[in-house]
A = this chain, B = another copy of it.
């Protein structure tokens, strides 16, 4: 049944921590069963707290929030973690999501947005602040300014999938020598001298 959703808050600033607790407690559908000022304590009690949702700050004394997400998901995979932080840094966002976060809110979010997010989680969503959603969606976009020809991109993608020259040749129905030529040209254009460098540069520049 739907019942009351149990919530744990991990946030080192006592003022913000209490503010979140008060805010959430206003809704009868949610109950804040525990709050922590650091990740270690939260992790220690996660298995007994067994919350449905965990609000997690990133900047914490001791273990940071990102690493904490990994630990928590390992112990209690069903806990949905929402990051609540001031950081909008790309890298942090992606790390948090990779570790298993289900949502990512920035602290400038209006209080109502926090509550909405809890509801959104229940509905199978992934609550994100406006800018975070754009970051995430943009991560799928390719760079349209590429020095590589369409065929070269195709070859590079197959190369990045771990295929050998011959395997790529078979996939594209051309001779192995042709692939060798393409790859030589790719290296020239990207100014690299190896497969790993080419893949790294292409991924970084979002050519593939």
Contacts and interface: CB of A to CB of B under 8 A. Distances in A.
Interface of A: 73-74, 77, 94, 97-98, 100-103, 120, 123-128, 130-131, 133-134, 136-138, 140-142, 144, 159-164, 167, 194-200
A97 B126 CA distance: 17
A97 B130 contact: no
A195 B141 CA distance: 27
Contact of A162 (B102, B133, B134, B159): B159
Contact of A133 (B125, B142, B194, B195): B125
A74 B178 CA distance: 28
A43 to B, nearest CB: 16
B140 A94 contact: yes
Q: Of residues A77, A136, A142, which shows the largest number of chain B Cβ atoms within 10 Å of its Cβ?
A: A136
B137 A126 contact: yes
Given A130-B120, A134-B125, A134-B126, A140 B98 contact: yes
A118 to B, nearest CB: 13
Contacts of A102: 134, 137
Contacts of A134: 102, 124-126
B133 A126 contact: yes
A142 B195 contact: no
Given A97-B140, A140-B94, A198 B162 contact: yes
